[in-house]
A = this chain, B = another copy of it.
Amino acid sequence: MEKTDKRCAIVRATLDIVAEQGFHGAPMALVAERAGVAAGTIYRYFESKDALINEVFHYLEERFFAAVMEHYPEGAPVRERFLHIGGVLVRYCIGAPLEFRFLEQFHNSPYGVAHCREKFFNKDNRDVITELFSEALGAGIVKDLPLPALFGLAFGPLLDICRDHILHFIELDDELVSRCVEACWDAIRR
Chain A residues engaging chain B, CB cutoff 8 angstroms: 22-24, 104-105, 108-110, 113, 116-117, 120, 143, 145-146, 148-149, 151-153, 156-157, 159-161, 164, 167, 169-170, 176, 179-180, 183-184, 186-189
Inter-subunit contact B149/A170 (CB<8 Å): yes
> Closest CB-CB distance, A11 to chain B, in whole Å?
22
Other CB < 8 Å A-B pairs besides A145-B180, A149-B161, 15 of them? A104-B108, A117-B167, A120-B169, A145-B176, A145-B183, A146-B176, A149-B170, A152-B156, A152-B157, A153-B160, A153-B180, A153-B183, A156-B157, A156-B159, A183-B188
Query: Given A152-B161, A156-B152, A156-B159, do A145 and B179 touch, yes or no (CB 8 Å)?
Result: yes
> Closest CB-CB distance, A25 to chain B, in whole Å?
8
> How often does this chain occur in the complex, in copies?
2
